[in-house]
């Protein structure tokens, strides 16, 4: 079974790293993780990209502008 999870992050460099490494523990199924950086102003994007280098199941996407809760206007 393959499970895909998207984790939105915004300025979470302190807590984000701890939570990401929890995903790398024992698992009962294959998984993919997308870290969606929502225009962080701290170093969260760089941390996520570095993490993805060590875990092939992790990919990173980056938004240049902060999302507005689904607003399209």
Q: Which two tokens stand for residue 3?
A: 């499970």
The yes-or-no verdict on residue 31 having pLDDT over 60 is: yes
8 Å CB contact between 32 and 5: yes
Provide the whole-model pTM: 0.76
- List helix spans (H) across the chain: 13-22, 44-54
Domain residue ranges in the chain: 2-63
Query: Looking at the DSSP assignment, which residues form a beta bridge with residue 9?
Result: 37
pLDDT in tens, 46-70: 999 998 998 888 999 998 888 766 5
Edge-to-edge strand ranges of the sheet holding 58-63: 2-9, 30-38, 58-63
Q: How far apart are CA 61 and CA 73, in angstroms?
A: 22
């Amino acid at each position: 079974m393959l499970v895909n999870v998207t984790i939105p992050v915004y300025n979470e460099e302190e807590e984000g790293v701890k939570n990401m490494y929890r995903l790398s523990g024992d698992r009962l199924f294959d998984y993919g993780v997308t870290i969606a950086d929502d225009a962080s102003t701290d170093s969260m994007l760089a941390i996520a990209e570095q993490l993805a280098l060590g875990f092939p199941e992790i990919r990173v996407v980056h938004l240049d502008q902060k999302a507005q809760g689904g607003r399209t206007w």
